[in-house]
């Protein structure tokens, strides 16, 4: 057994900067990674999907340009699209390796498991340390549908290895992953069917968000099946057949399973280290990232936090501060996220319903995109801006933006929320005409009425 200063399990967007920073301070750091360096974001999530969507959205916008009097013939070279995805992905993953090497981190390319208190084994190496950090993330949750196991179905882990565009693609799940990749394939030329058990797409979002996205996907040719589930899967001669609970059977050359996430904890042997998991298998932590085992911390979505890269990276910043004795907490931030559908969904903080459930005297204002001059100029009038405020303190509690580049705009609200600024700051602001952001003061002025 070897004694080191720090053990890190997982090379995601929190684990890598932690390893690099701690090693740069002169600590002996060992990082275990069983898969590609960089975690989900670099290899299977954020960047590969957005690389794909860059091509898909370019094709869709070229077709839509006819609305502006511009007529284009669009030809998609799908193998070239996927080659670019993998080339840039591989460059990013290699860059992570170079960063760790430069910092002096010892990388063990093997699955890690606890064998005792702050003792980890993997790849024939057993190490112990006073500080252990777990950043193992999550993986696709595959439902136990009869006939599914053993078929070449896709998840986000395997999707980006596609070389040929499927003529027909069946997508199980109408959440963020299913809609982004499903719409992307439709824009690239596949016939896409989305199957969602709930009565609307993105069922965790507000109903009018679902309505806007439903209309947009249908406009791209996506066929949507709501309130139904897959009851049986068959695969024969390169073709999937999915029997639905409504009696319908769908066929396709590809099947994408995007039905949720599960924590990467089964292989950890957490019990051996005294680390408690919750009923779903996520690691239990307090507001300073401490697990139930002394000296062991966990960050990112393996703790049940939202599965977003910026959350994991901000966990890294907070944990570094905690280790230095500073008064940072896991929850001392404004949560925001984006779904990169077209149009985009940008969210920050609370919805009106969530705010009222928490006891706020909350009020919301909504501005349709068709009232924003720049959106009219671009002919991108799908969606709306929505702001939620606390009438007692005048602080901004949240925002829901659906529309063209909504992900860029919602971050203006996040900055105001982080600063604790009242909504009147936005209402009194003079923003540049004609821009999409110019609509935000107009939105806030509704609270003066």
Q: Is the pLDDT of residue 341 over 90?
A: yes
The predicted pLDDT at position 62 comes to 97
**Residue 97 assigned to a binding site:** no
Domains of the chain and CATH, by start: 2-139+262-323 (3.50.50.60), 159-259 (3.50.50.60), 343-448 (3.30.390.30)
Q: Is the pLDDT of residue 388 over 90?
A: yes
**Residue 244 assigned to a binding site:** no
The predicted pLDDT at position 449 comes to 85
Phi/psi class of residue 338: alpha, beta or left (left: φ > 0; alpha: ψ in -120 to 50)? Answer: beta
The predicted pLDDT at position 167 comes to 98
The predicted pLDDT at position 307 comes to 84
Structure tokens of 135?
Answer: 């950043």
- Arithmetic mean of pLDDT, 216-232: 98
**Residue 178 assigned to a binding site:** yes
Longest CA–CA separation in the chain, Å: 71
| CA pair distance 434, 432, nearest whole angstrom | 6
**Residue 247 assigned to a binding site:** no
- The full DSSP string for 196-257 is ESSSSSSTTS-HHHHHHHHHHHHHTT-EEEES--EEEEEEETTEEEEEETTS-EEEESEEEE
- Arithmetic mean of pLDDT, 223-250: 97
Helix, strand, coil: what percent of the chain each, to 5? 35, 25, 40
In degrees, rounded to 5, the angle at the alpha carbon of residue 162 between the alpha carbons of residues 160 and 163 is 130
**Residue 173 assigned to a binding site:** yes
Q: Is the pLDDT of residue 400 over 90?
A: yes
Structure tokens of 2?
Answer: 């070897």
- Arithmetic mean of pLDDT, 382-400: 98
Q: For the segment 32-71, what is each residue's pLDDT rounded down to a tens digit?
A: 999 999 999 999 999 999 999 999 999 999 999 999 999 9
The predicted pLDDT at position 349 comes to 97
**Residue 277 assigned to a binding site:** no
Q: Is the pLDDT of residue 76 over 90?
A: yes
Q: How confident is the model at residue 298 (pLDDT cuts 50, 70, 90)?
A: very high
Structure tokens of 19?
Answer: 């390893």
**Residue 177 assigned to a binding site:** yes
The predicted pLDDT at position 308 comes to 87
**Residue 179 assigned to a binding site:** yes
- Arithmetic mean of pLDDT, 187-211: 98
The predicted pLDDT at position 434 comes to 97
- What burial letters (b/e) apply to 363-390, b meaning 16+ CB within 10 Å? bbbebebeebebbeebebbbbbbbbbbb
Backbone angles phi, psi at 305, to 5 degrees: -70, 160
Q: How confident is the model at residue 181 (pLDDT cuts 50, 70, 90)?
A: very high
Q: Is the pLDDT of residue 301 over 90?
A: yes
Structure tokens of 228?
Answer: 């139904």
- Arithmetic mean of pLDDT, 145-152: 98
Q: Which of 71, 225, 235, 433 is catalytic?
A: 433
Tell me the pLDDT of the chain averaged across its residues: 97
Query: Is residue 433 among the annotated active site residues?
Result: yes
Q: Is the pLDDT of residue 305 over 90?
A: no
């Amino acid at each position: 057994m070897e004694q080191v200063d720090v053990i890190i399990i997982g090379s995601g967007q929190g684990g890598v900067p932690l390893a690099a920073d701690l090693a740069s301070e002169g600590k002996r750091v060992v990082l275990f990674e069983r898969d590609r360096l960089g975690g989900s974001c670099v290899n299977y999530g954020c960047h590969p999907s957005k690389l794909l969507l860059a091509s898909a959205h370019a094709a869709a916008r070229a077709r839509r340009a006819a609305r502006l009097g511009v007529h284009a013939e669009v030809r998609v070279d799908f193998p070239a699209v996927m080659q670019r995805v993998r080339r840039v992905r591989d460059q990013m993953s290699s860059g992570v390796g170079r960063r760790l090497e430069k910092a002096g981190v010892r990388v063990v390319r093997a699955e890690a498991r606890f064998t005792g208190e702050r003792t980890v084994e993997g790849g024939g190496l057993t190490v112990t340390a006073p500080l252990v950090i777990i950043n193992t993330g999550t993986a696709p949750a595959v439902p136990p549908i009869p006939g599914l196991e053993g078929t070449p179905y896709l998840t986000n882990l395997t999707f980006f290895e596609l070389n040929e565009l499927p003529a027909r693609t069946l997508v199980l799940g109408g959440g963020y992953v299913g809609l982004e990749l499903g719409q992307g394939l439709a824009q690239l030329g596949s016939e896409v069917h989305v199957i969602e058990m709930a009565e609307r797409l993105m069922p965790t979002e507000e109903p009018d968000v679902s309505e806007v996205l439903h209309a947009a996907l249908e406009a791209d040719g996506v066929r949507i099946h709501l309130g139904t589930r897959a009851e049986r899967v068959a695969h024969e001669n390169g073709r999937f057949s999915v029997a639905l609970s409504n009696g319908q059977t769908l066929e396709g050359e590809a099947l994408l399973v995007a039905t949720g996430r599960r924590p990467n904890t089964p292989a950890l042997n957490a019990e051996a280290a005294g680390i408690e998991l919750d009923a779903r298998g996520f690691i239990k932590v307090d507001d300073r990232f401490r697990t139930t085992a002394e000296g062991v911390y966990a960050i990112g979505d393996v703790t049940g936090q939202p599965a977003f890269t910026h959350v994991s990276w901000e966990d890294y910043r907070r944990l570094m501060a905690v280790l230095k004795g500073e008064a940072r907490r896991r929850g001392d931030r404004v949560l925001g996220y984006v779904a990169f559908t077209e149009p985009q969904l940008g969210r920050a903080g609370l919805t009106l319903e969530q705010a009222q459930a928490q006891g706020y005297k909350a009020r919301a204002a909504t501005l349709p995109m068709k009232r924003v001059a720049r959106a009219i100029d671009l002919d991108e009038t799908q969606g709306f801006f929505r702001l939620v405020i606390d009438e007692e303190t005048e602080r901004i509690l949240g925002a829901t933006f659906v529309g063209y580049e909504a992900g860029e705009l919602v971050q203006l609200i996040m900055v105001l929320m982080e600063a604790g600024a009242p909504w009147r700051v936005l209402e009194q602001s003079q923003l540049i005409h004609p821009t999409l952001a110019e609509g935000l003061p107009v939105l806030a002025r509704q609270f003066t009425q």
